[in-house]
Amino acid sequence: MAVVLISNLAPITDADAGFLNDLIGNFERLGHQVVFWSTVSHPTLERVFLPSSWKIKDWLNLYPVDRLLPPDTGDIDAETWAERVNALCLQDVDDASRPALLEILMRVSRHLLETVQPDLYLAWNTLCPHVGVLSDLCRRADIPVMMIERGHIPDTWMLDTGLLGHSRLAEVPLNRLITSARQRRSCLKTGTAVLAEQNLATFQRYAQNQDEASFADLESLTGRPRVLFLPPDDSALGFLPAQGPDRAASLPGYTSSLDAARAVAARVSAVGGITVFKPHPSFERLSLDTRGQPDLYILNLDFQRLIRWADVVVTSGSGLLHVAMSHNKPVVLTARDIFSGKGIAYEALQEADITGALSAALKREGFTARQQAFKVYTGWLSQNYLMHAEQTLPSAGVWTAADAVAKLHKRHLQHRPSWARSPELIAACTQARPARPIGEELASQLGSGLTIASDFPSFAQTLTQRETTLAVVDFDHTLLLGNSTELYLDSIRPRWLAAAIHALIWGLQPWTWMARKGEDPLLYRDYLRVVLMTILFPWSLLLWNIKAARIAKELACKPLQEALTQVNAAPTHILSLGFRFILSPLVRAMGLPGALITAESFWGGPTIRRQGKAAILRDAHGSDTLSRAITITDSPHDADLFPLVRQGWLIDWPGRKFTALLNDYVPLRYTADAKYPGGNILRHQHFGEDLMVLLLAYALIPASGMLSFTALPGLPFLLTLLALPLLFISFFAVYEIGYYENDFVAARRESKPTLSGLQARFARYPINRCGWLWGAGAGLPGCLLAYGAHWSNLGDTPPPPVLLPLFVVGWTAVLLATRGVFALFNRVPETQRVLLFPVLQLAKTCGAAVVLPLGGAGLAVLLAQAFSRVSNYMVYRHGGETKLVKRQRHRLIVLVLMLAGLTAISPSLVGWTAPQVWVIIAWALHRTLRETFGPTWGQQLRGGWSWLRAALSPSGWKALTSGSLASQPAPVTDAQGKLKQAMEAIEQQESMIRQLNEGYTMQLMEIRDLQLTLAQKDNSLRRLQEEKELLEMKLGFPPSP
């Protein structure tokens, strides 16, 4: 079961409640728990309702704010949120109290994250402070966040990555969404039906000002053309701060909606026209200064009447664009949103485009085609984007809450770990207590008449009782509201180097090498991380002793700390899976110098993890002492302690749970964790192929000291061997910026972008700055080592001094050119990318040739590698199945052809007498055999050889001629072969299960279609009955009995 948190900041009508109940019900039918965090409720939503308020100061009455901890300053952009909070309307506080609102927001957001622990967050406008701070914290914690809001068509909702320029539909051309004439006709039919059923010309979501005197004054103005400017809610759409990336993503050419309106009014006034700016209701704290522009009027009147008054409507992202088009009014769009790039509005994203866009709109150039595109796009939105409640489903609509939930479940929830959640989850968010009760649940699972409490006051009372002889206290997430091991690792400096080495340790996973047979490798994970990092950074011990006092002050569990330091409290025994040298300074800083600490030692290995806390506790204390002891912990994994003591407490305290150094920039982290997650892309592709190809091509050339089969590696070889990994890191640190840009920029231009869904976690990842820093930091020593390799090759004659700066300039040019080509690649249409992809692959393989020598065999394997990658991409881009492409075989074939061609030109180009060419061929052949037969191709080859020898023996020959041996498969020679056969059998069974599941899913879809058909027929029969009764009444027939 997963937990889904849904937030809402708007009034809820009966139709809205119907949709939300559909949405929540579909999540619950899949076994998920839903929490509805909303400023308003509805009688049908009370069971999942968690109260909120638009007035942030009212949160003081809803949540125990004074007892909550703020999030770490690195988790959110406090300056950005402070400016947005300052612009919020209807807060009933003075300016001096505004900073306190942000503090409340941060504390409650952290509290909800740690208490609800959502697996998916559907947030109402992630740029609005009320829900946006929690959205940032969720992304930081790698929790998927999606935006849910009302759609621009009545009784619809939308689910997207964000609003305006953050939407996945922003600037996506209509012809990429609708790719066939048949689909276009279907969308046109749907759009026409939807617009006919929803009369947008009379649509009003909020009460509008109908001041007749103001309308009379407006009609008296004689200027033409008349232009109406409709802005969105600037204060809640990321337009603040004006210099921030959110504003640039949605409103690239202007600093605010009013700034865009001023630019429009200047052009309209120049031709004798007037402009009316209708402010959004939330603009009460935004400056609307129009001095110096007499033909720009600020009028807060009914938008429907203003649209009818206007000749042209201009908007900076307002959802009322749909209403204006329904009034047959041309629209000029100055922002990126779901309508931009669709051929519906006349677009003026930059100030220089305003004159042309206004002129075309006033002349209605191509307006008929734009109206047609508007209907087609409305149909596509209704079929694929706008969600309808099933009981209010229009006859032409096909996208429902059930469809959306099924997609969210498949993408984000079906692989989430499952555990029991508290039925009092909502109450735990609002009650002023340190944790939610879970002790009773664990006691019922353990049985044996155990009583496990979850209320802290009873623990504090029992602690001071005379019969209590000992208090056994867990440390991490109990006495310390955090993980001491992760906090220690997070304190190591320099941080950039610590993050890089930690990432290397995390990737190599040395704990899998240490585990004995039958042991869980995770027993050694934290132990090895701490030991290796401490050995490599020995000064971290001194730094930790300095930082421990501050950490203890900030993260100590104050109620528990105060209880344990009472004069009459029982002696304390801290029993932890952490490290003694990490815990000791924290415990001293908490005022517990006399506490007994049992934790892992530095050199002793994970003793407590292997033996278990219960065994350690029994060895340390007699049964008499333990029979009168009490224990408190946060972890159900400590369940073996409760039968040993008189009373136990299991309390899930609030606290930040994280893994140290996993969010810091490290080259290739984005590639492994977001671009290609789960496939071990670094080991199999970047290190296993890309780096290996470079080593084979550049390090093994005869000039590097590998002169013959008998020669030992020389100094040039060793220097080249050191230079290549540095150049590899330098190149991919810059190359990875293109991956990041591809997900955040290029994906908006693609009709079907390939995204993992994890890139949101890296929304504020400093890859552009840090990528270039790492590129320069690794590239410079790489060039220096390459220069040393040249020097060593020349013996006593040093190379020209100018060669080193030439290497630096050349390598810099490679990085700049690669970055430029990748930037262009991410901005051209998808069909044209096939022309640029080979350039990127050649830069990846041959770029190092500007600083290192390259022979014929090396060139052949580099080009073969590039060709294999290009062919794979060509198949992908043209809609083929890349899994069917035998890329390793392709590379081997191209390599053989290249070597043959070079040999035909001159055998000396290849150097057949040097080991390089044979090592390259052997490696390529190994990769091909591995791709064809799997990792155990060697065992299969040996099994085949054994079968051949048996067949050629006298008895085997007789059996072969009789046909009995030929009918037998090659024998399995070892356990690995048997394991492979077992795995194949398992895969066949899994395939059968998948087919059964697919069949079951299809049957469910057919049942749902039948239910919809029956419901439609039932409605038709009901309408026919009503018409029949009406006709009988008109004709004077008596009513039917």
Q: Which residues contact 491 (CB under 8 A, 6 or more apart)?
A: 540, 543, 544, 547
How many angstroms separate the CA atoms of 6 and 20, rounded?
10
**Domains 203-384 and 433-652 alike in fold:** yes
How many angstroms separate the CA atoms of 671 and 503, rounded?
13
State how far the alpha carbon of 88 is from the alpha carbons of 58, 163, 742, in Å: 14, 18, 34
For the cut 70, the answer to whether the pLDDT of residue 312 exceeds it is: yes
Please, what is the angle between helix 767-793 and helix 803-825, to 10°? 140
Whether 84 and 99 have beta carbons less than 8 Å apart is answered as no
User: What is the DSSP code (8-state) at residue 119?
Assistant: S
What DSSP string runs through 636-655? Answer: GGGGGGGGGSSEEEEEE---
For the cut 60, the answer to whether the pLDDT of residue 737 exceeds it is: yes
How big is the chain by its Cα radius of gyration, in Å? Answer: 34
533-558: pLDDT as tens digits: 999 999 999 999 999 998 888 788 88
For the chain, the first-to-last Cα distance in angstroms comes to 52
Level-2 CATH architecture, domain 3-169+401-413: 3-Layer(aba) Sandwich (3.40)
Among 841, 678, 830, smallest CA distance to 758 is for 678
Among 842, 887, 844, 892, smallest CA distance to 863 is for 842
CB-based burial of residue 968 (10 Å sphere; 0-12 exposed, 13-18 middle, 19+ buried)? Answer: exposed
Q: Which residues contact 593 (CB under 8 A, 6 or more apart)?
A: 587
970-1000: pLDDT as tens digits: 444 445 555 556 666 666 666 566 556 555 5
pTM attached to this predicted model: 0.54
Joined tokens for residue 311: 């000749």
Helix, strand, coil shares of the chain as percentages rounded to 5? 60, 10, 30
Among 826, 847, 848, smallest CA distance to 837 is for 826
pLDDT band at 839; cut points 50, 70, 90? very high
- Looking at the chain, the whole-number percentage of residues with pLDDT higher than 90 is 28
472-506: pLDDT as tens digits: 999 998 899 889 999 999 999 999 999 999 988 88
What 3-state DSSP class applies to 166?
helix
State how far the alpha carbon of 216 is from the alpha carbons of 212, 235, 306, in Å: 6, 31, 12
Residue 427: predicted pLDDT: 64
Mean of pLDDT values over 134-155: 87
Joined tokens for residue 103: 């503090």
Counts for the chain of helices (H) and strands (E), in that order: 41, 20
Mean of pLDDT values over 855-884: 86
How many angstroms separate the CA atoms of 331 and 317, rounded?
11
For the cut 80, the answer to whether the pLDDT of residue 456 exceeds it is: no
Strand 120-123 with 145-150, pairing = parallel
How many angstroms separate the CA atoms of 781 and 444, rounded?
62
Domain 433-652 has CATH 3.30.1050: no
Angle at 680 between CA 674 and CA 685, to 5 degrees: 100
Joined tokens for residue 1019: 């409605």
Do you know the residue count of the chain? 1041
Q: Among 76-90, 109-123, 419-433, 853-867, where is mean pLDDT lowest?
A: 419-433
What 3-state DSSP class applies to 662?
coil
Residue 140: predicted pLDDT: 81
| Helix locations, 515-604, DSSP H | 525-536, 540-555, 558-564, 580-589
Residue 873: predicted pLDDT: 87
pLDDT band at 695; cut points 50, 70, 90? very high
Q: Give strand pairing partners of 153.
A: none
224-281: pLDDT as tens digits: 899 999 999 887 888 888 888 888 889 999 999 999 999 999 999 999 999 999 988 7
In one-letter notation, the amino acid at residue 92 is D
Residue 850: predicted pLDDT: 93
Whether 130 and 52 have beta carbons less than 8 Å apart is answered as yes
Whether 473 and 572 have beta carbons less than 8 Å apart is answered as yes
For the cut 70, the answer to whether the pLDDT of residue 190 exceeds it is: yes
pLDDT band at 417; cut points 50, 70, 90? very low
How many angstroms separate the CA atoms of 368 and 391, rounded?
34
- Looking at the chain, the whole-number percentage of residues with pLDDT higher than 70 is 78
Q: Give strand pairing partners of 51.
A: 38
CA 956 to chain centroid, in Å, comes to: 60
Q: Among 406-415, 490-499, 599-608, 814-823, where is mean pLDDT lowest?
A: 406-415
Residue 38: predicted pLDDT: 92
Whether 239 and 190 have beta carbons less than 8 Å apart is answered as no
556-607: pLDDT as tens digits: 888 888 889 887 888 999 999 999 999 999 999 998 888 899 999 998 888 8
How many angstroms separate the CA atoms of 879 and 413, rounded?
28
- Residue pointed to by tokens 């498949």: 410
Average pLDDT, the chain: 81
Joined tokens for residue 629: 């002891």
CATH for 203-384, options being 3.20.20.10, 3.40.50.2000, 3.30.70.1290, 3.40.30.10: 3.40.50.2000
How many angstroms separate the CA atoms of 106 and 112, rounded?
10
Mean of pLDDT values over 753-767: 72
Among 523, 584, 597, 592, smallest CA distance to 557 is for 592
Q: Is the dihedral of CA 236, 241, 247, 252 positive or negative?
A: positive
For the cut 50, the answer to whether the pLDDT of residue 391 exceeds it is: no
Half-sphere exposure of 772 (CA within 13 A, CB side): 8
User: What is the DSSP code (8-state) at residue 229?
Assistant: E
Please, what is the angle between helix 915-933 and helix 856-877, to 10°? 30
How many angstroms separate the CA atoms of 433 and 458, rounded?
13
Residue 436: predicted pLDDT: 43
Domain-by-domain residue ranges, the chain? 3-169+401-413, 203-384, 433-652, 711-852, 934-973, 987-1041
State how far the alpha carbon of 417 is from the alpha carbons of 3, 404, 413, 442, 514, in Å: 11, 21, 9, 18, 27
Q: Which residues contact 855 (CB under 8 A, 6 or more apart)?
A: 701, 702, 703, 909, 911, 916
Residue 384: predicted pLDDT: 87
Strand 346-347 with 145-150, pairing = unpaired
Between 355 and 433, the higher pLDDT residue: 355
Mean of pLDDT values over 754-769: 74
Joined tokens for residue 719: 């220097």
Residue 326: predicted pLDDT: 86
Angle at 671 between CA 666 and CA 674, to 5 degrees: 105
Q: Which residues contact 169 (CB under 8 A, 6 or more apart)?
A: 160, 177, 338, 385
Q: Which residues contact 900 (CB under 8 A, 6 or more apart)?
A: none
Whether 892 and 934 have beta carbons less than 8 Å apart is answered as no
Q: Given phi > 0 = left and psi -120 to 50 = alpha, else beta, which region is 473? A: beta
How many angstroms separate the CA atoms of 932 and 927, rounded?
9
